[in-house]
């Protein structure tokens, strides 16, 4: 055998061995039989924290035919491609990816919520995992973040991120958002701050953020309760903790929950009557959230219809269609007499999340009003 042939054969052997080692993920001693380790596992570097990335779709995983067109499809890129697109993040943490769903978040639904929340609870129980990053669409990220904030049980960082521009766009915002989200999840200072959302250099608390622009990259604001911090190229600065009970201090749990009760949001407007309120109850709503005008107001006929439903046991929350400000109790309407709940700081979409979880535990109005005060 010539020297060249021997060298070639030994190189082939080395390549075969390397491929075999690479395809066998390192054993995860902490994972239990009922909680399998995340599916896509790259070789891990000693000394770096381990962050699990759960992908659900959205524009961050979206693709368009050209880099300068408005039209695109959400949820086209898988978690492995997403991780591969930001190799810089591998210097911050060992990343393990898992695809939970691949949908536009306008299609977010209870099945994905329950699956996601349960999987996060399994993953954060693994001692070798330092934190979790969830990639999501921007349309309903505030609802998913708030839901997780109430039902995930951990002190470890749980960080959602998203993008306004698809992965194929000129100046896509997803890669830096993802990098910053990994940096925050890997940062010990992010612990015990509830579920966080990192988009466009800002760190929001799950109970505070809301989508404020249909198309702008700077779409998320945290009115009333304020930002938790900022993050620039992975350097995070924390200003405060989250407002409202969350994660470890939340009294909500999915342990005995298989379905979530129906709660509908109804927007108030000029000349509103009660027909849509009655129709929502006829369709099966156990609770209603009114996105009221001003301080949670609505027409006299809407008040009449709502009060009649409240009397029959439908839990009715007054929130507001206004972008910012609290909805107070007994301001222009007598909530005590009408049996209404005031949403306080929570916008209609977050009020709906809280009311759905509340109704898994109780229909007592005093207790539910307390939830709106404390969460």
Which is nearer to ligand ASP, 221 or 277 (by Cβ)?
A: 221
**Site membership for ligand ASP, residue 138 (CB under 6 A):** yes
Q: Which two tokens stand for residue 255?
A: 């342990």
**Site membership for ligand ASP, residue 105 (CB under 6 A):** yes
Region of 20-28, 42-50, 102-110, 170-178 interacting with ligand ASP (CB under 6 A):
102-110
Nearest CA-CA partner of 316 in 284, 350, 352: 352
Q: Which one among 59, 154, 207, 250 touches ligand ASP, defined by CB under 6 A? A: 59
**Site membership for ligand ASP, residue 335 (CB under 6 A):** no
Alpha-carbon separation of residue 88 from 49, 53, 60, 79, 293 (angstroms): 15, 15, 17, 16, 47
Which is nearer to ligand ASP, 216 or 248 (by Cβ)?
A: 216
Q: Which two tokens stand for residue 319?
A: 């929130």
Region of 132-140, 171-179, 245-253, 359-367 interacting with ligand ASP (CB under 6 A):
132-140
Tell me the C-alpha distance between 282 and 285, whole Å. Answer: 7
Least distance in angstroms from the C-beta of 165 to ligand ASP: 8
Region of 135-143, 243-251, 325-333, 350-358 interacting with ligand ASP (CB under 6 A):
135-143
Q: Which one among 28, 98, 139, 264 touches ligand ASP, defined by CB under 6 A? A: 139
Residue 53, burial from CB neighbour count under 10 angstroms (0-12, 13-18, 19+): buried
Least distance in angstroms from the C-beta of 64 to ligand ASP: 13
Q: Which one among 106, 218, 249, 367 touches ligand ASP, defined by CB under 6 A? A: 106
Least distance in angstroms from the C-beta of 329 to ligand ASP: 33
Site for ligand ASP in 71-90 (CB under 6 A): 74
Candidates 41, 50, 59, 138; catalytic one: 59
**Does residue 144 carry a catalytic annotation?**
no
- Tell me if 146 sits within 8 A of 206, measured CB to CB: yes
Sheet containing 263-267: order of strands: 263-267, 287-292, 315-320, 340-342
Number of residues that bind ligand ASP (CB under 6 A): 11
Tell me the C-alpha distance between 262 and 248, whole Å. Answer: 26
Taking CB positions, which residue lies at the least distance from ligand ASP?
137
User: How many residues belong to the chain?
Assistant: 375
**Site membership for ligand ASP, residue 104 (CB under 6 A):** yes
**Site membership for ligand ASP, residue 319 (CB under 6 A):** no
Nearest CA-CA partner of 135 in 167, 171, 94: 167
**Site membership for ligand ASP, residue 167 (CB under 6 A):** no
Nearest CA-CA partner of 209 in 22, 346, 60: 346
- Tell me if 318 sits within 8 A of 336, measured CB to CB: no
Half-sphere exposure at residue 25, Cβ-oriented, CA atoms within 13 angstroms: 15
Least distance in angstroms from the C-beta of 231 to ligand ASP: 19
Catalytic residues: 59
Binding residues (CB under 6 A) for ligand ASP: these are 58-59, 74, 104-106, 137-139, 162, 164
């Amino acid at each position: 055998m010539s020297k060249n042939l021997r060298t070639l054969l030994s190189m082939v052997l080395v390549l075969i061995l390397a491929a075999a080692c690479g395809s066998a993920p390192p054993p995860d001693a902490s994972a239990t039989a009922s909680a399998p380790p995340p599916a896509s596992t790259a070789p891990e570097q000693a000394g770096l924290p381990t962050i699990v990335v759960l992908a659900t779709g959205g524009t961050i995983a979206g693709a368009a035919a050209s880099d300068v067109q408005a039209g695109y499809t959400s949820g086209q890129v898988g978690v492995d491609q997403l991780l591969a697109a930001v190799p810089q993040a591998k210097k911050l943490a060992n990343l393990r990816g898992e695809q939970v769903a691949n949908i536009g978040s306008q299609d977010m639904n209870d099945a994905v919520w329950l699956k996601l929340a349960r999987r996060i609870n399994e993953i954060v129980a693994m001692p070798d995992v330092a934190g979790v990053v969830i990639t999501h669409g921007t349309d309903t990220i505030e609802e998913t973040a708030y839901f997780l904030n109430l039902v995930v049980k951990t002190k470890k960082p749980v960080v959602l991120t998203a993008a306004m521009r698809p992965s194929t766009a000129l100046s896509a915002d997803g890669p830096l958002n993802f990098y910053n989200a990994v940096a925050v999840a890997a940062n010990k200072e992010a612990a015990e701050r509830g579920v966080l959302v990192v988009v466009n250099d800002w760190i929001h608390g799950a109970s505070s953020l809301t989508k404020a622009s249909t198309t702008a990259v700077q779409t998320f604001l945290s009115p009333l309760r304020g930002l938790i911090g900022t993050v620039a190229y992975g350097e995070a600065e924390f200003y405060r903790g989250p407002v409202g009970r969350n994660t470890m201090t939340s009294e909500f749990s999915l342990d005995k929950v298989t379905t979530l009760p129906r709660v509908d949001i109804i927007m108030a407007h000029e000349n509103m009557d009660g027909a849509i309120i009655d129709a929502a109850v006829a369709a099966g709503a156990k609770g209603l959230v009114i996105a009221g005008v001003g301080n949670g107001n609505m027409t006299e006929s809407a008040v009449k219809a709502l009060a009649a439903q409240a009397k029959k046991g439908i839990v009715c929350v007054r929130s507001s269609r206004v972008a910012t400000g609290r909805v107070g109790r007994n301001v222009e309407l007598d909530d005590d007499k009408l049996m209404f709940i005031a949403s306080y700081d929570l916008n209609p979409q977050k009020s709906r999340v809280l009311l759905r979880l509340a109704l898994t535990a109780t229909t007592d109005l005093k207790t539910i009003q307390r939830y709106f005060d404390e969460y």
